[in-house]
Amino acid sequence: MTSISELSGVALTRPIVLTLGDPCGIGPEIVARAWSQAPDLTRGCFVAGDVGVMRRAMALLQRPLNFPVCEIESPLEALQMPPRCLPVLQVGSVAPVLTWGQIDSRAGKVAGDAVLWATRAALRGDVAALITAPLHKEALHAAGAPYDQYPGHTELLQDEAAHYLGVPVSQLPVRMMLANEDLRTVLVSIHVSLRQALDAITQEQVAQTLRITDASLTRLLGRRPRIAVAGVNPHAGEGGLFGREEIDVLQPCVKQARQEGLDVQGPFAPDTVFMRARRQSNGHREFDVVIAMYHDQGLIPVKYLGVEQGVNVTLGLPLIRTSPDHGTAMDLAGKGLADASSLIQALRLARQMVGAC
């Protein structure tokens, strides 16, 4: 398999769209930096958002890193753009000049409008993949309807995709995968409280996660992934001494999945399974992915290994969506100090996934 540090080399027949993220955060700056630092990856890509916001972001880059931001009228124009030019499709009304580092409902609306437009474009097939720069959940919620009903990107994308397919949201389960060069994890639950996350560890939820992970990574790897299931409790329950989730939920799920042909093992003690799945210096890893039972169990190991290289992938959608594994970093916004490494990795993986489809 090509690693996510290597470009697939696939020529794009449809453009890839990036959303600008929250205009008051570092999203616009890291998008501008990606165009400057990774010209091969951004060829054939464009930004959905606001031209003025992206011009102010590009101005944060010092010469010779900065270059013109050009407004385009349609996605296909991005495939013909010359080098050292950042194409932007204006989505919605022109944004006002907003203050860097401030939570602002107007910024939430700009970010939400960009994601909504890009998601619909991806569902129609107008673009090959969607990469989302970070938005601020509080600003998105403050923007009002329809954005105040979504905790974040994932739920918005899921709702739009279900509507497009004409099915209830419950019939389009999605999962979050966090990946870097060394480790991949997929989460059973995402943005819920720990109490709700524990309640979500059911045979149905875990089985869905296993099937979604198997199908998605089979396409990406070109073979069935080796899946490890992390336990819920210390020592994976120690035979029921520290909890029965492993016995009552996880073991039956693993058995059923293996009967369906999935290459899955576990449940394993959660304090060691991530080390077993980590890529070694010789490139070997015992498992291709770990199924984590809740948000922090899966994200802490990946982020500890390097948040600047982490990529967030939404599995189960009828479109390709990747995102950097960090937030809006309001304290860095407007200072010209933002690191685009994670966004560049998200670009690499999106192009690889386009090539695998």
Using one digit for the tens of pLDDT, what is the confidence trace for 140-187? 999 999 999 988 888 999 999 999 999 999 999 999 999 988 999 999
pLDDT beyond 50 at 69: yes
Let me know: does 81 contact 72? Beta carbons within 8 Å: yes
Lowest mean pLDDT among 29-38, 219-228, 233-242: 233-242
What share of the chain in percent tops pLDDT 70? 96
pLDDT band at 355 (very low <50, low <70, confident <90, very high): confident
Above 80 in pLDDT, residue 4? no
Assign 6 a pLDDT band (cuts: 50, 70, 90).
Answer: very low
Answer whether residue 237 shows pLDDT above 80: no
pLDDT at res. 75? 96
Find the angle CA(126)-CA(132)-CA(133) to the nearest 5 degrees: 140
The rounded distance, in Å, linking the Cα atoms of 345 and 237 is 36
Q: How high is the pLDDT of residue 208? A: 96
pLDDT band at 8 (very low <50, low <70, confident <90, very high): very low
- Per-residue pLDDT band at 5 (split at 50, 70, 90): very low
Q: Could you tell me which of 77, 101, 100, 97 has the C-alpha nearest to residue 89?
A: 77
pTM (two decimals): 0.89
The mean pLDDT of 88-97, rounded to a whole number, is 95
> Which CATH superfamily is 1-173+317-357 part of?
Isopropylmalate Dehydrogenase (3.40.718.10)
* Mean pLDDT for all residues in the chain: 92
User: What's at 249, amino acid-wise?
Assistant: V
Q: Is 126 helix (H, G, I), strand (E, B) or coil?
A: coil
* Separation CA 247–CA 236 (nearest Å): 9
Q: Which of 113-117, 191-195, 229-233, 327-331 has the lowest mean pLDDT?
A: 191-195
* Cis peptide upstream of residue 168 (ω within 30 degrees of 0): no
Task: Give start-end residues of each CATH 3.40.718.10 domain in the chain.
Answer: 1-173+317-357, 181-305
User: What confidence tens digit (pLDDT) does each residue in 11-21 have?
Assistant: 788 999 999 99
**Tens digit of pLDDT for each residue in 247-291?**
999 999 999 999 999 999 999 999 999 999 998 888 889 999 999
Amino acid, res. 317: L
Residue 357's pLDDT is 64
Listed residue (200, 191, 187, 211) closest to 299, CA to CA: 187
pLDDT above 50: residue 7: no
Which CATH superfamily hosts domain 181-305?
Isopropylmalate Dehydrogenase (3.40.718.10)
What pLDDT score was predicted for residue 216?
Answer: 94
Residue 321 clears pLDDT 70, i.e. is over it: yes
Burial 175-201, CB ≥16 within 10 A → b, else e: bbbbbbbbbbbbbbbbeeeeeebeebb
